[in-house]
Amino acid sequence: MQISTRTTSDIHIVAITGSLDSTTSPEAQKSLDSVLASAKKVVLDFSRLDYISSAGLRILLGAAKQLRASGGTLGLFGLNQSVREVFEISGFSSILSVYQSEAEALGAM
For the chain, which residues make up each domain, given as ranges?
2-108
Beta-sheet pairing, 2-8 with 11-20: antiparallel
Beta-sheet pairing, 73-77 with 2-8: unpaired
Type of residue numbered 48: R
Q: Is residue 99 a contact partner of residue 105, using CB atoms and an 8 Å limit?
A: yes
- What's the pTM? 0.94
List b or e across 8-37, with b for residues whose CB sees 16 or more CB atoms inside 10 angstroms.
eeebbbbbbeebbeeebbeebbebbeebbe
Q: Does domain 2-108 have CATH number 3.30.750.24?
A: yes
Using alpha carbons, list the distances in angstroms from residue 47 to 2, 69, 70, 72, 109: 12, 27, 27, 23, 18
pLDDT tens sequence for the chain (109 residues): 999 999 998 999 999 999 999 999 999 999 999 999 999 999 999 999 999 999 999 999 999 999 999 999 999 999 999 999 999 999 999 999 999 999 999 999 9
Q: Is residue 74 a contact partner of residue 45, using CB atoms and an 8 Å limit?
A: no
